[in-house]
Amino acid sequence: MDSGVKKQVLDAYLAKRSELKRFLVARFRDETFAEDILQDMYLKIERSDLQNPVDSAGAFLYRAANNLALDRKRQAQSQQTRDQNWTDAHTHSVQDTVVQDEPDMESALDARRRLKRAMELVAQLPPQCRRVFIAHKIDGLSYREVAASLDISKKTVEKHMSKALKYLILHLKDQD
């Protein structure tokens, strides 16, 4: 870029900055938004590679400020539409209350952490107690089915389950 053109535009920007801000605030009714646009505009001018001389730096700046603001508004509207579409796809309402189909990230991470800890505790159970617990709670077998598959009595299955659950409750309670 011709350094003279860049200097001309930057000088005009600095001279008209307060007028540009008033223009943007009047047009978009948001002073913070106007400041953001002016800051972006300065950076774009500073980084730009203007090839042709600018006849009216003031008109150029007003047009650039308006275009940047409109682009930013369009982007915000597009993002809002995307966010709303995502929310609509992943939630539903139950009596005026929005319910997510999936837990939030923090809840999911916490659940994974607790599951990992529970599985570590299950691994610490005595072998027969662990086999009974896994067969019933993980594999979904009834006490009778567990007893038959491990060739033990139903009463023994009950005792192992009781022992496993007490152990897990005791150690998981300390975690929370």
Cα radius of gyration (the chain):
33
33-42 pLDDT, tens per residue?
A: 999 999 999 9
Q: What is the pLDDT of residues 151-170, one digit of tens each?
A: 999 999 999 999 999 999 98
- Predicted pLDDT of residue 158: 94
Nearest to 119 by CA among 99, 133, 136, 140: 133
Pairing state of beta strands 97-100 and 91-94?
antiparallel
More confident residue, 4 or 91: 4
Quote the pLDDT of residue 174. Answer: 66
DSSP for 46-99? Answer: HH----SPPS-HHHHHHHHHHHHHHHHHHHHHHHHHHHHHHHHHHEEEETTEEE
Helix 154-175 / helix 143-150 crossing angle, nearest 10 deg:
110
Domains, the chain = 3-93 (1.10.1740), 105-175 (1.10.10.10)
